[in-house]
């Protein structure tokens, strides 16, 4: 039995036991779970007075073995009075995925503070999509304190085992001829998440178990579930008939555009269709499908036109970290198409509806690894690295009049993924509304600024480029005889609030901004020392050039900053050097122009560590300055991607980790929460793609998740519980 201390520890819910067991034998699979917890306060009763168990009615059944309340020396059979309900909440509806899963909800009656809840249940059923195989990730930690955590896996076959960092080795033994893997942890340390970790990182100790011998075996398993249609299908032949005589690249482009634009994203993933694609004829009739439906349809269209094509499985979060995983179907959560077009291998994502352009203009999908479904596959394929699609920002200040107004124009050119995001954003945003949002951003930088004209947008879909042009007037530009000039769009990186970390720090990747600023100056002898400096630090590299030139109309100040990230994260011991590099970059790329009666000059406007004589003070100063800018110039929700990095927090906020899930009553609650968050690249998650994540039973409550997929490639996770 589980010892229950007489004195409560002061928390609303005190957890004594999490006991999870799995039995796999032949065609039978049973998962058993037991939870013992004490509800110490009224809030604890409200948080954990119901038991929720999720299952798939297509092949699973739930049995409750124990529902007890311990009150002092009494043990009450709470099952007799409990209200048992079966709900179909479709927790992934907001991500346009319907899986038909049900929730068995036990509503306990007469629960009081101080009661100990002891509940046990089992879920039986063999997932048909696995075709008799077994693969499982065993979570060996908890985000909340628990006195004892036990996990037992018993199988009729030997399993491959891989321990993730921090996971203890199991006790392995044979029990009645069955292989048993047993973990029994007493008072394991609670799992903690630091802010802004990369999407692939998980600090929780875990073990991977699988009976798949290799990735080749997984590819053969997947082949039966996502097999493209053989050429000759009447529906497909009729559809591709108008494209057959086009050049090969144009045939492929027509098929890709059709699947992206004519087949809306909606997944019916009941039972086996969580992994098996619907047939292309059915998808064409319905005109909707999920990622694997779209990938299979696209591959089928390409094959019908004589183009080699297959379906490939990817993981947008883990990417090249799949190299560290044991072979398992659960390593993937997205499907794309692979095709050979013009002798070149292409990877095509049919779910990116806003992407335009000829095949050569399309950015490389940033997934790094893929598993091509089929018997010929031997391992994971390495995808080409993301293309360097730099965003170009060109600013011009016409400020010749030392006593009058100045005009200010900004031309921004987005390419690749940036163009895709801007293209998807602006149909729902009028030029007038965009102008108000842009003006709000610049108001803090330039006193007296006003719109001269509404922003103009120009799309070049065939080159996958998108242009935004802005025009402003700045009243009395030299009113204080000084003006700050900043490469603000190239200075979007910011350090974490705390430099002392034990977990990696996420960076936007790929991210590349080139900002060129031209200031047409009043006449005079401007004493500005030219600069050409490269700044290198863990995670990024930048080059800053500034100088003055004399043209026929007068002097001109030129500032160019070219900054890009070199990876999607930095190690904990690199964070301090990363922050030092940002300090140097801000010192160089921020300038104050001084208009004097005798000798106009320019000086660095950032904190100077050398001048201050204190590296720590300088670093703290630049961090505060960067974070102030992030807070001050944050973009307007749903508007253009002009934000600096979001304000860093020292602890996970609601929804940022499984330990701090937010309460969501309706899908609109998730929308609201997503709109309030920003990617590490600065973009608002109001315009990113939401996809279903995983649901887990953590410390007695079911925590769901959705993925917020930004166009820069970064993925954030929003955790929630149903309220």
| Domain ranges for the chain | 13-192, 219-382, 391-625
* Sheet of strand 160-163, all strands in order from the earlier edge strand to the far edge: 135-139, 206-210, 160-163
Q: CA-CA distance, 405 to 398, in Å (whole number)?
A: 9
Share of the chain above pLDDT 90, in %: 54
Residue 243 backbone phi and psi in degrees, to 5:
-100, -10
Average pLDDT on 569-594 reads 94
Confidence (pLDDT) at 434 = 86
pLDDT band of residue 556 (cuts 50, 70, 90) is: very high
**279-293, 556-570, 675-689: lowest mean pLDDT where?**
675-689
Output the six-digit token pair for 217.
């075996």
Residues 6+ apart with CB under 8 A from 347: 312, 336, 337, 338, 364, 365, 367, 370, 383
Residue 62 backbone phi and psi in degrees, to 5:
-110, 135
CA angle (561 as vertex; 557, 564 as ends), nearest 5:
175
Confidence (pLDDT) at 559 = 97
Q: CA-CA distance, 206 to 186, in Å (whole number)?
A: 16
**25-39, 40-54, 287-301, 382-396: lowest mean pLDDT where?**
40-54
219-382 classified as CATH 3.40.50.1010: no
Confidence (pLDDT) at 723 = 61
Query: What CATH class is the domain 13-192?
Result: mainly beta
pLDDT band of residue 637 (cuts 50, 70, 90) is: very low
CATH number of 391-625: 2.60.120.1130
CA angle (603 as vertex; 597, 605 as ends), nearest 5:
125
Q: What confidence tens digit (pLDDT) does each residue in 54-100 have?
A: 888 888 899 999 999 998 889 988 888 877 777 766 554 444 445 56
Residue 201 backbone phi and psi in degrees, to 5:
-90, 135
Q: Which of 265, 370, 380 is nearest to 313 (CA)?
A: 370
Query: By the 8 A CB rule, do 578 and 544 touch?
Result: no
Task: For residue 58, say if its preceding peptide bond is cis, omega within 30 degrees of 0.
Answer: no
Confidence (pLDDT) at 505 = 96
Output the six-digit token pair for 398.
């016409």
pLDDT at 357 over 60: yes
Q: CA-CA distance, 182 to 334, in Å (whole number)?
A: 32
Q: Which of 580, 500, 593, 502 is nearest to 539 (CA)?
A: 580
């Amino acid at each position: 039995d589980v010892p229950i201390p007489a004195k409560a520890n002061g928390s609303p819910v005190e957890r004594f036991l999490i006991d999870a067991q799995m039995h796999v034998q032949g065609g039978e699979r049973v998962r058993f779970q037991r939870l013992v917890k004490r509800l110490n306060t009224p809030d604890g009763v409200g948080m954990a007075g119901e038991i929720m168990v999720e299952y798939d009615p297509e092949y699973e059944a739930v049995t409750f073995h124990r529902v007890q309340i311990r009150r002092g020396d009494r043990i009450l059979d709470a099952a007799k009075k409990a209200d048992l309900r079966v709900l179909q909440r479709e927790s992934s509806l907001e991500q346009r995925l319907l899986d038909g899963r049900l929730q068995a909800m036990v509503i306990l009656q007469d629960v009081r503070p101080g009661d100990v809840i002891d509940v046990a249940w089992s879920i039986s059923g063999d997932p048909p999509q696995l075709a008799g195989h077994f693969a499982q990730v065993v979570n060996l930690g908890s985000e909340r304190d628990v006195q004892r955590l036990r996990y037992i896996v018993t199988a009729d076959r030997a399993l491959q085992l891989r321990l993730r960092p921090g996971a203890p080795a199991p006790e392995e033994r044979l029990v009645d001829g069955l292989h048993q893997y047993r973990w029994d942890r007493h008072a394991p340390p609670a799992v903690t998440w630091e802010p802004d970790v990369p999407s692939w990182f998980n600090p929780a100790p875990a073990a991977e178990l699988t009976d798949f011998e290799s990735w080749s075996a997984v590819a053969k398993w997947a082949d039966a579930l996502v097999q493209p249609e053989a050429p000759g299908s009447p529906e497909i032949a009729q559809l591709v008939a108008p494209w057959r005589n086009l050049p090969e690249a144009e045939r492929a482009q027509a098929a890709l555009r059709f699947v992206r634009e004519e087949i809306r994203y909606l997944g019916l993933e009941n039972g086996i269709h969580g992994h098996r694609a619907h047939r292309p004829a059915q998808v064409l009739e319905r005109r909707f499908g999920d990622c694997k439906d779209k990938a299979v349809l696209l591959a089928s269209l390409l094959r019908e036109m004589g183009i080699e094509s297959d379906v490939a499985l990817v993981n947008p979060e883990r990417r090249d970290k799949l190299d560290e995983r044991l072979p398992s179907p659960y390593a993937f959560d997205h499907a794309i198409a692979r095709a050979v077009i013009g002798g070149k291998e292409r990877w095509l994502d049919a779910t990116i509806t806003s992407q335009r352009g000829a095949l050569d203009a399309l950015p490389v999908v940033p997934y790094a690894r893929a598993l091509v479904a089929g018997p010929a596959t031997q391992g994971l394929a390495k995808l080409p690295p993301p293309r360097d699609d730099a965003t170009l920002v060109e600013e011009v200040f016409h400020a010749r009049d030392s006593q009058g107004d100045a005009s200010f124009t900004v031309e921004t050119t987005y390419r690749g993924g940036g163009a895709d995001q801007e293209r998807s954003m602006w149909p729902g945003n009028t030029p007038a509304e965009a102008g108000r949002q842009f003006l709000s951003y610049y108001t803090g930088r330039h006193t007296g600024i006003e719109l001269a004209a509404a922003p103009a947008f120009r799309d070049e879909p065939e080159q996958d480029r998108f242009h935004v042009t802005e025009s402003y007037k700045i009243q009395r530009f030299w009113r204080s005889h000084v003006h700050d000039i900043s490469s603000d769009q190239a200075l979007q990186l910011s350090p974490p609030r705390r430099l002392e970390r034990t977990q990696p720090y996420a960076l936007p990747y790929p991210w590349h901004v080139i900002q060129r600023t031209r200031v047409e100056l009043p006449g005079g002898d401007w004493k500005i020392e030219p600069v050409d400096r490269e700044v290198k630090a863990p995670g990024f590299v930048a080059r800053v050039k500034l100088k003055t030139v004399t043209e026929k109309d007068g002097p001109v100040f030129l500032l160019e900053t070219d900054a890009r990230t070199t990876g999607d994260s930095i190690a904990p011991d690199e964070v301090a050097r990363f922050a030092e590099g940002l300090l140097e970059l801000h010192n160089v790329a921020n300038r104050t122009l001084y208009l004097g009666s005798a000798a106009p000059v320019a000086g660095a406007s950032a904190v100077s560590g050398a001048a201050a004589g204190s590296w720590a003070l300088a670093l703290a100063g630049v961090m505060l300055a960067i974070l102030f800018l992030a807070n001050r110039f944050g973009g307007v929700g749903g508007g253009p991607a002009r934000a600096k990095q979001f304000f860093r927090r020292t602890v996970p906020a609601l929804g940022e980790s499984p330990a701090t899930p937010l309460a969501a009553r309706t899908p609109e609650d998730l929308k609201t929460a997503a709109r309030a968050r920003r990617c590490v690249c600065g973009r608002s998650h109001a315009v990113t793609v939401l996809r279903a994540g995983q649901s887990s039973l953590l410390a007695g409550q079911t925590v769901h998740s959705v993925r917020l997929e930004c166009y820069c490639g970064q993925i954030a996770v929003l955790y929630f519980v149903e309220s």
